[in-house]
Chains A and B, each alone.
Chain A
Amino acid sequence: MIRFWDVLERAENGKILAEKDWDRMIGEVAAQVVSDYDIKYDPEDPVPTDDSLADRLFEAGVELFEKTGIYCIDTGKVLKFTKDEIMEALEGAPERAVYGSGNDVVEMPHREVEDPRDPVVNFSAVGTPVTEELFVPICQSYAQEPIADTFSGPLITTYRGMPVTSGSPVEMEAGIWNVIKLREAARLAGRPTIPIHNFMSIAERTDATIAAARPELGALAGDGLFVAAIAELKVDYERLKKVSFLINSPYVIGGLYGPLMGGYGGGPAATAALLVAHHILGVISFRAQRHNAFPIHIHNICNTSRDMIWLISITGQALARNTHLVTVANAFMASGPCTETIIWELAAHSVAATVSGWHLNPCAVAKNRHPLHCSGMEPRMHAEVGHVTARGGTTRKEAGRIVKALLERYEKHISNPPIGKSFTECYDPVSIKPKDEYILLWEDSKKSLEDLGLKFKLL
């Protein structure tokens, strides 16, 4: 069994390779394995039903990882693993993650394809920049949702008037503030011990994370942290230091993988193989207990385009059928809050991900870059769709039909989507309740989604 020590040893003593040669090799190997295993993207089949395709994709991803390994950019060396080591690591990986304690325990088991059990939903504002003043109200809008199993926050770019700069003392202070304010938002939401699945969204550096990881600040045992791989299949010592801290902590480790579709890996099929390989990276080098996937379209900066929905669906199926990993799909929307298009995007992503074996982590909004463009309503809608999809016993075939109908409604807008409304335009900032306009939009849209086959009475 590969130990963390083996990972560190191989990072020091692996074969030397120039980073540009690594980047080139990724594309060559990915192209080779998708050809050898006959993995082809079919735009007419965004939620594939072919089990053999999913199984071949898994094999392709394992072979890709076996051939490439992991690149450590601090040492310029390649960490290689044999197929036996890979399969043994997958076999020994956790089949459930458990957040929280007492009355707020959240179990995330491995999900299967077309699993009728509810996906666990991690409500998250992902990386949306917000102001200090609105950080707590926005977090409260997520934590207060009854359907939220866990939550995490957005980020601030300035703290007490100073920019939050990577590696600076301000970053460390802002990181501590981050944890305090997340727990404050949980208390204001009436859920003081709701698990926070990623308690550090503001600070990047490991020292700032460690400084903030204290229960008296609000980071409780059973909360969690994410460790993000660098695209494609790269790690650095900053990340491995975070792993070193986490494996000696009471926090749940989440791996975070965002291969770029259209980037070094290539197209949808090659990027799907790369995403499988990233999960192996997370098992081996991050010791991850749950795995978050946020593959991104290189131009559209979202994962709701037709090719991305296919990629998410088939990769989820490959992992669900061939491993017992706890996998979670991060939703990245092109459109912004309080728009019709975001509802169709959220629904398509949620339906496809839920039937393909993923748990849900909604969501980045408005391409994840427009300040204050996020609210608890977006994950609420994503979660409700996910729950009724699972409870209704939706098959992949039915999901494919629904997703295709939804794609017709939004895909033409994806390259130039509406950015929608800001938090204070969508919510009453005092009561932290969504405004009538947003509620009515969702209620009307639900009727349309019911016509497509989603049964909201199952909620």
Chain B
Amino acid sequence: MNDIILNLKKEILRGEATKIKELVKKAIDQGLAPLEILEKALRPAMEEVGKKFEDLEIFLPDMMKAAEAMTAGTETLRPYLGPGNADIKKGLILLGTVEGDVHEIGKNIVRVMLEGVGFKVIDLGYNVPVLTFVEKVKELNPDILGMSALMTTTMVHMPRVIKELQDRDLKKKVKIIVGGAPVLPDWAEKIGADGYGENAGEAVNLVRRLVK
């Protein structure tokens, strides 16, 4: 049993989606509980991937492959989970880079890391208009809305989004986090965000705290 857990972890780290699918099926056949596979192999492996990326022992392409392997693993597990455990995601996160800004690498890293540790992420992409954020919050009812910006001329759209959410009485229904190169914690607080992440690792920890 330990061997297969170790192998699952190893293949997540190597980003081998096909092998992960095979190993998950094998683990089920050997009698491992689906939640055990998730909690003892797949999620800890992705935690390790995130840590290795923070230490730059691996780079973004490696982390993306690992996240895809993780997704393959959870999708393979899904049919074996009982009705009460059908939704294996920890929470719904809506992400986007604000209007006028085409820089999204930082936001993409946050997305990959959040998906890796079990959150469902809907990524609106970059250059997202203010009212699109608002409409999507209303439509999808996410736990968290995360906005990023790389430029001072675009980060000013973040308070606009927050104001539009307030005006529609939606602000209290969602926690808002912000990040990106020019964003500082005191500014995040000033505009009424619920949290700020200096980097992707901090963003993940922040989301964990806020979703609880």
A residues apposed to B, CB below 8 Å: 23-24, 27-28, 31, 73, 127, 129, 155, 157, 163-167, 171, 202-204, 230-231, 234, 236, 260, 262-267, 270, 298-299, 301, 307, 368-370
Task: Please give 6 more A-B residue pairs, beta carbons under 8 A apart, in addition to A263-B109, A266-B59.
Answer: A129-B152, A157-B152, A157-B156, A165-B153, A263-B60, A298-B56
Contact of A301 among B56, B156, B181, B184 (CB under 8 A): B181
A-B contact count (CB 8 A): 81
In contact, B157 and A165 (Cβ under 8 angstroms): yes
| Known A-B contacts A204-B153, A262-B60, A264-B61; A368 and B101 likewise in contact (beta carbons under 8 Å) | no
* Nearest A residue to B180, CB-CB: A369
* Nearest A residue to B159, CB-CB: A163
Q: Is the interface of A mostly helix, strand, loop or mixed?
A: loop
Of residues A28, A264, A270, A298, which shows the largest number of chain B Cβ atoms within 10 Å of its Cβ?
Answer: A298
Q: Is B28 in the interface zone, CB < 8 Å from A? A: no
In contact, A164 and B181 (Cβ under 8 angstroms): no
Q: Kindly state the separation between the CA atoms of A129 and B155 in the bound complex, as whole angstroms.
A: 12
B residues apposed to A, CB below 8 Å: 53-54, 56, 59-61, 64, 99-103, 105, 108-109, 151-154, 156-157, 181-184, 199
A23 partner residues in chain B, CB cutoff 8 A: 108
In contact, B152 and A155 (Cβ under 8 angstroms): yes
A127 partner residues in chain B, CB cutoff 8 A: 152, 182
Distance (whole angstroms) from the CB of B82 to the closest CB of chain A: 34
B54 partner residues in chain A, CB cutoff 8 A: 299
* Nearest A residue to B201, CB-CB: A299
| Known A-B contacts A127-B152, A171-B153; A31 and B182 likewise in contact (beta carbons under 8 Å) | no
In contact, B152 and A27 (Cβ under 8 angstroms): no
* Nearest B residue to A296, CB-CB: B181
In contact, A24 and B64 (Cβ under 8 angstroms): yes
Q: Kindly state the separation between the CA atoms of A80 and B103 in the bound complex, as whole angstroms.
A: 22
In contact, A166 and B184 (Cβ under 8 angstroms): no
Distance (whole angstroms) from the CB of B94 to the closest CB of chain A: 18
In contact, B156 and A165 (Cβ under 8 angstroms): yes
Distance (whole angstroms) from the CB of A264 to the closest CB of chain B: 6
A167 partner residues in chain B, CB cutoff 8 A: 100
In contact, A166 and B59 (Cβ under 8 angstroms): no
Q: Kindly state the separation between the CA atoms of A234 and B104 in the bound complex, as whole angstroms.
A: 12
Of residues B61, B100, B103, B181, which shows the largest number of chain A Cβ atoms within 10 Å of its Cβ?
Answer: B61
Q: Kindly state the separation between the CA atoms of A24 and B184 in the bound complex, as whole angstroms.
A: 30
Q: Kindly state the separation between the CA atoms of A369 and B100 in the bound complex, as whole angstroms.
A: 19
| Known A-B contacts A166-B100, A204-B100; A260 and B105 likewise in contact (beta carbons under 8 Å) | yes
Contact of A298 among B60, B100, B103 (CB under 8 A): B60
| Known A-B contacts A165-B157, A262-B60; A230 and B103 likewise in contact (beta carbons under 8 Å) | yes
Q: Kindly state the separation between the CA atoms of A286 and B36 in the bound complex, as whole angstroms.
A: 54
| Known A-B contacts A73-B102, A164-B156, A165-B157; A27 and B56 likewise in contact (beta carbons under 8 Å) | no
Distance (whole angstroms) from the CB of B97 to the closest CB of chain A: 12
Q: Kindly state the separation between the CA atoms of A24 and B154 in the bound complex, as whole angstroms.
A: 26
In contact, B56 and A262 (Cβ under 8 angstroms): yes
Of residues B108, B182, B199, which shows the largest number of chain A Cβ atoms within 10 Å of its Cβ?
Answer: B182
Q: Kindly state the separation between the CA atoms of A267 and B109 in the bound complex, as whole angstroms.
A: 15
Of residues B56, B99, B103, B183, which shows the largest number of chain A Cβ atoms within 10 Å of its Cβ?
Answer: B56
B156 partner residues in chain A, CB cutoff 8 A: 157, 163-165
* Nearest B residue to A270, CB-CB: B59
* Nearest A residue to B184, CB-CB: A369
In contact, A129 and B182 (Cβ under 8 angstroms): yes
* Nearest B residue to A301, CB-CB: B181
* Nearest A residue to B108, CB-CB: A23
A236 partner residues in chain B, CB cutoff 8 A: 102
Contact of A204 among B53, B151, B184 (CB under 8 A): B151
A202 partner residues in chain B, CB cutoff 8 A: 153
B157 partner residues in chain A, CB cutoff 8 A: 165
User: Can you offer 25 A-B residue contacts whose CB atoms are under 8 A?
Assistant: A24-B61, A27-B61, A31-B61, A73-B102, A157-B152, A157-B153, A165-B154, A166-B154, A171-B153, A202-B153, A204-B151, A204-B153, A230-B103, A236-B102, A262-B59, A263-B59, A263-B109, A265-B59, A266-B61, A298-B56, A298-B105, A368-B181, A369-B183, A369-B184, A370-B184
Of residues B101, B108, B153, B181, which shows the largest number of chain A Cβ atoms within 10 Å of its Cβ?
Answer: B153
* Nearest B residue to A260, CB-CB: B105
Distance (whole angstroms) from the CB of A76 to the closest CB of chain B: 12
In contact, A230 and B102 (Cβ under 8 angstroms): yes
In contact, A263 and B105 (Cβ under 8 angstroms): yes
In contact, A231 and B151 (Cβ under 8 angstroms): no
Q: Kindly state the separation between the CA atoms of A353 and B157 in the bound complex, as whole angstroms.
A: 37
Distance (whole angstroms) from the CB of B205 to the closest CB of chain A: 15
Q: Kindly state the separation between the CA atoms of A327 and B53 in the bound complex, as whole angstroms.
A: 31
| Known A-B contacts A27-B60, A262-B60, A266-B61; A164 and B105 likewise in contact (beta carbons under 8 Å) | no
Contact of B101 among A166, A171, A299, A301 (CB under 8 A): A166
Q: Kindly state the separation between the CA atoms of A221 and B109 in the bound complex, as whole angstroms.
A: 42
A204 partner residues in chain B, CB cutoff 8 A: 100, 151, 153-154
* Nearest B residue to A30, CB-CB: B61
* Nearest B residue to A202, CB-CB: B153
B183 partner residues in chain A, CB cutoff 8 A: 369
* Nearest B residue to A370, CB-CB: B184
B182 partner residues in chain A, CB cutoff 8 A: 127, 129, 369
Distance (whole angstroms) from the CB of A265 to the closest CB of chain B: 8
Give 3 closest A-B pairs by Cβ, nearest first: A27-B61, A166-B100, A166-B153
Q: Kindly state the separation between the CA atoms of A51 and B60 in the bound complex, as whole angstroms.
A: 29
Of residues A27, A203, A234, which shows the largest number of chain B Cβ atoms within 10 Å of its Cβ?
Answer: A27
